[in-house]
Amino acid sequence: MAPSPCRTRGGKVAAKYHTARFILVPALRELLEVPVPGGRFPGRPWQALPPVAAADPGPAAEPIRIGYARCSTKGQELDSQVLALRAAGCSRIFSEKISTRVRVRPELEAALGLCRDIKSAAPGQSVIFTVHELKRPARNAAELMTLAAGLQGARIQLELLSGPLTGIYDPNGLGAMLFAVLAVAAQLDRDYIRDKTLEGQQAAAARGNHGGRPKVIDEDMLIFALALRAKGVAVPDIAQKLTIKTGANAGKNPSVASVYRALADADAAERLGAADGLGDDIDEGMALAGWDSSVAGSTRG
């Protein structure tokens, strides 16, 4: 057993050994929990015991497999996955029935957390995260890449029990190729989503839908607001006389800032229209006077 007992976050001797520690002992691996002996004073302030002498490592320890099973609906069963994980020799199996639309999967996080804890407690111990097939721990290529990066960083192997990629993959060994492929797949997945999004936006724009929020102040409201301003009504009072017709705020008054923006936009559009009209009038006048508006300083006739 470990040279010093496990301790709690409060700095006391724990009542039982952490799973990540006792699972390293083959004789204890199948137990659900291992209590700390009374001679190590559980509940008392924790103190480090003298380090034990390094023993002959002997033959390499058997890998520790942590299994994870998942299905999406209540109508589906986990039994076949769990049986396959047991047959593969998993010491612990975490399972959950949870929709693929749910981002947070507590049992998956618990399984990966135990893998990391075991590896942290015994860096030389081979730890394998085992699943029935690749789609169980991830919903898409991006999530697969996130999973792969986490396993690679913790030096945890990935085992697939079925599918075209059946086998054990060491992210820091020969299995690194699989993780590289997952990285490329994740990028392709992101590119595909981006392209489809742009195509959808372009198609919507062609139909006259340019996206964004609908205007708070429509044309009828703007005409009414301009008429009230022409009569000398203050903008805050104008806002109180307007009513939003559509959207989540239907039936409410627009904000004073929205009214100010709408009036400013209308004024800018009017000035632009006046400038365009003035340019047309100048061209027409020059033509009547015999001037070629395209060549300054020249006359016609």
pLDDT digits (tens, 9 = 90+) for 25-47: 655 555 556 677 766 667 778 77
Give the per-residue pLDDT at 297.
44
Per DSSP, helices labelled H in 122-174 are 141-154
Least confident piece of the model among 2-11, 193-202, 246-255, 280-289: 280-289
Same domain flag for 165 and 224: no
What pTM was estimated for this model as a whole?
0.49
Statement: residue 140 has pLDDT above 50: yes
Decide if 45 is inside a domain. Answer: no
Q: What b/e readout covers 93-107, taking b as 16+ CB neighbours within 10 angstroms?
A: bbbbebeeeeeebeb
Q: What b/e readout covers 155-166, taking b as 16+ CB neighbours within 10 angstroms?
A: bbbbbbbeeeee
Decide if 132 is inside a domain. Answer: yes
Decide if 154 is inside a domain. Answer: yes
Question: How far is it between the farthest Cα atoms of the chain?
Answer: 119
Give the per-residue pLDDT at 114.
94
Query: Domain containing 93 — which CATH number?
Result: 3.40.50.1390
Same domain flag for 66 and 206: yes
Identify the band that residue 269 occupies on the pLDDT scale cut at 50, 70 and 90.
confident
Same domain flag for 14 and 93: no
Decide if 254 is inside a domain. Answer: yes
Same domain flag for 254 and 167: no
Statement: residue 129 has pLDDT above 90: yes
- CB of 138 closer than 8 Å to CB of 185: no
Identify the band that residue 51 occupies on the pLDDT scale cut at 50, 70 and 90.
low
Give the per-residue pLDDT at 214.
64
Q: Which domain holds residue 184?
A: 62-212
Statement: residue 260 has pLDDT above 80: yes
Percent of the chain with pLDDT over 70: 68
Decide if 43 is inside a domain. Answer: no
Give the per-residue pLDDT at 65.
95
CA dist 282 and 284 (Å) reads 5
| Interval 214-224 mean pLDDT | 84
Decide if 55 is inside a domain. Answer: no
Decide if 301 is inside a domain. Answer: no
Same domain flag for 7 and 148: no
Least confident piece of the model among 24-38, 142-156, 176-190, 222-236: 24-38
Percent of the chain with pLDDT over 90: 27
Least confident piece of the model among 60-64, 207-211, 218-222: 207-211
Statement: residue 150 has pLDDT above 50: yes
Give the per-residue pLDDT at 217.
86
The per-residue pLDDT of the chain, averaged, comes to 77
Structural domain tally of the chain? 3
Domain boundary among 185, 212, 239: 212
Domain boundary among 212, 245, 272: 212
Same domain flag for 137 and 32: no
pLDDT digits (tens, 9 = 90+) for 87-121: 999 999 999 988 777 778 899 999 999 999 999 88
Same domain flag for 31 and 87: no
Same domain flag for 266 and 192: no
Please give the angle made by the CA atoms of 207, 245 and 211, to the nearest 5 degrees.
30
Domain boundary among 192, 212, 232: 212
Pick the residue with more confidence: 224 or 175? 224
Contacts of 158 (CB under 8 A, 6+ apart): 128, 129, 131, 148, 151, 168, 169, 171, 175, 178
Decide if 299 is inside a domain. Answer: no
Least confident piece of the model among 8-17, 105-114, 232-241: 8-17
Of the candidates 292, 282, 283, the residue with the CA atom closest to the CA atom of residue 301: 292
Same domain flag for 68 and 192: yes
Give the per-residue pLDDT at 62.
87
Same domain flag for 240 and 269: yes
Same domain flag for 208 and 248: no
Same domain flag for 203 and 254: no
